Chains A and B, each alone.
Chain A
Amino acid sequence: EDQVTQSPEALRLQEGESSSLNCSYTVSGLRGLFWYRQDPGKGPEFLFTLYSAGEEKEKERLKATLTKKESFLHITAPKPEDSATYLCAVIISGSARQLTFGSGTQLTVLP
C-alpha cells in the first residue's frame, strides 16, 4: 500500500536552532514529491517540488532534498514566523495526479 510518513509529529526549536524534518515514502512509483506549509485556519502553501533522487531545492531558510526512500526539509536558523505545519505529499506514477499527503510536522519556533 502506498504510504507517506512524516516525522517527528511535532518539533519545538529555539530561534536560530537548525533542524530537519523527515518524509519517508513507500510507493509503487514516484512521479513527484511536494512540500507545503500550512498555517492554522489556512490552505496549504506550495513550497517545493522534487522529482529525482539527489535533487535539491532552496528557498530562504528552507532546503528540500530527495533520496529514493525519503525527503528532508532542512530549516536553517529558523525564526518564529517559520512556525507552521509542514506537509509532505507525493504523486504516484500512473495515478491521476492526486496528492497523497503525510500527516505533517507541526513546527514551533520559540523566540
Chain B
Amino acid sequence: NAGVMQNPRHLVRRRGQEARLRCSPMKGHSHVYWYRQLPEEGLKFMVYLQKENIIDESGMPKERFSAEFPKEGPSILRIQQVVRGDSAAYFCASSPIVDEQFFGPGTRLTVL
C-alpha cells in the first residue's frame, strides 16, 4: 500500500509566479490535510478537505492561497503570485475515518 505521495518534491518559483502542489492520499483515505512548515518554525495547519468539499480552511491565508480535492485526481494546493515569505515545506496528510494522519514527504517551495 503506497503512502501519501506529493509532487513535486522541490519547486522553485520567481516572485509573482504561481505554484501548484499536488497530493495523492493513501488508498482508501478520503480526508486530506495540508500543513506548512516555515523555516525554524513548527507545522501549522492550513486546510482540511474531503472529496469535492472544503471542511475547514481556517489556517489558510485569505489571499493568494486555494485548495481543492476533486472527485477524480489528486488534491491541489495553489499559491498565486508567490512572495519570498511563501518559501517553506508544504506537507500533505491523509486519514481514513479515524484520527491518525499519515504524512507525505513534502514539497519544498523556494521563491526567488
Contact = CB atoms under 8 A, between A and B. Distances in A.
Interface string B41-82: 111110010000001101100000000000000000000000
Given A99-B33, A103-B42, A44 B103 contact: yes
A46 B101 contact: yes
B31 to A, nearest CB: 7
A75 to B, nearest CB: 21
B100 A99 contact: no
A45 interface: yes
Contacts of A104: 42
A87 B48 contact: no
Contacts of A97: 31, 33, 48, 95, 99
Interface in A69-85: none
Given A96-B55, A98-B33, A43 B105 contact: yes
Nearest to B43: A101
Nearest to A43: B103
B106 A99 contact: no
A95 B55 CA distance: 11
Given A96-B58, A98-B59, 16 more contacts: A34-B100, A34-B101, A43-B4, A43-B103, A43-B105, A43-B106, A49-B100, A87-B42, A87-B43, A96-B55, A97-B31, A98-B56, A99-B35, A99-B101, A101-B35, A101-B44
Interface of B: 4, 31, 33, 35, 41-45, 48, 55-56, 58-59, 91, 93, 95, 99-106
Interface of A: 31-32, 34, 36, 42-46, 49, 87, 89, 91, 95-104
